[in-house]
Structure 1
Amino acid sequence: MIDWKEASEHLNAPLDPKHVKGRTQGGASVSYIEGWHAIAEANRIFGFGAWNREAVEIRQLGDPREVNSKMRVDYMARVRITVGDVVRDGTGFGQGIDRDVGQAHESGMKEAETDAMKRALMTFGNPFGLALYDKSKANVRESEPTPAESRDRIKAAILKAQDVQALDRLWKHPVTEKTFASLPEPMQGELSKAYSDQTARVCQAPANGTQYQ
């Protein structure tokens, strides 16, 4: 039995951008999640053995053709995902490209089946890529800042502080302390020096109450 209340919490959660990949297709940038990740998420959310994937149809589109000394074969597939009593179908496309026509067929079929599986799973919620269909990306979680970005943010705040009290509040702020502790030692050293230098500069300056944002 699927606990849909618990599963819904995962399905409605924002998509983590670290799982989103990108490619250029038809001159446009396309965002997607990889097939292996979709399977891993299905196992995590629904449970091993609690969902089923069935290739309902795999069909070759046209004849193999040679392009730049390689064979190209197009395939479409329809995959059915069953989770408890819920059944969803997805249709996908795949193109196999290889010097060996047999390898091209295999690659095209696999790509089409994976694409169809992802489209079927997508209808369940954000972790499977549903969030990517919203142009505003409202349900894609914001990316975590890189260490360099975190360092620069704290350093900028230090340089804006115009009195010792403001510097002290900034330096002892829980967000600053947590972020500082996560940084590599060289970056911690940079910030410690920036803090000391700014303290020396503003020692005699009038208070200006800058706070951490």
Structure 2
Amino acid sequence: AITGGKLACLPSPCHGMPLDCPRIREFDDPIEIQQRLEVPLGPDEIALRDGGSAGKVPYIEGWRAIDKAQRIFGFDGWSSKIVGLTKEYEERHQSTHRWSTAYSAIVRVELKDGTYHEDVGFGSCMNEK
């Protein structure tokens, strides 16, 4: 679809992710890019997952984060990579033959001009087959 001379992406039936949408940068002005980055996520952009004893915890789905980056920086204006991946622990329970394991990852998001941000993520599973 075209709106106001720019391409607009139509949501797909699968997770609201756009289908066959060219990933063009919507903004070129650094001030406008900064303003877009500062816009808080709306409630419809935040998903919830089971956090065990913490109840439901909010998070942003990966496809949504990628879509926002594509729209703000353009398909060729940014990249991401795993800088480090560490197995924190791994244990097989002899009596139940189930596993408990945890990993941490350092991920870098880098812009075309070389600026970047790194952060740590952590994931675990307990008592799984």
Q: TM range, normalised to the smaller chain? A: 0.5 to 0.7
Deviations 1:19-48 (A, max 9, x none): 111234233442111112111111111110
Equivalent residues in 2 for 1:26-45, closer than 5 Å:
26-45=53-72
Using the alignment, how far apart are the partners of 2:29 and 2:108 within structure 1? 21
Q: TM-score, with normalisation over the residues of structure 2?
A: 0.64
2:96 paired with 1:80? no
| 2:42 counterpart residue number | 16
Give the deviation of 1:65 after TM superposition: 2.9
Identity %: 32
Q: TM-score, with normalisation over the residues of structure 1?
A: 0.41
2:98 paired with 1:70? yes
| 1:141 counterpart residue number | none
Give the deviation of 1:11 after TM superposition: 0.9
Using the alignment, how far apart are the partners of 1:20 and 1:58 within structure 2? 26
2:53 paired with 1:53? no
Where structure 1 has 5 or more consecutive residues not aligned to the other structure, the ranges are 100-213
Give the deviation of 1:93 after TM superposition: 0.4
When the two chains are superposed, the root-mean-square deviation of aligned CA atoms in Å is 2.3
Q: Secondary structure at the match of 1:63?
A: strand
Distance 1:63 1:14, change over 3 A: closer
Equivalent residues in 2 for 1:1-213, closer than 5 Å:
3-25=29-51, 26-66=53-93, 69-83=97-111, 84-96=113-125, 98-99=128-129
Where structure 2 has 5 or more consecutive residues not aligned to the other structure, the ranges are 1-27
Q: Whose helix proportion is higher, 1 or 2?
A: 1
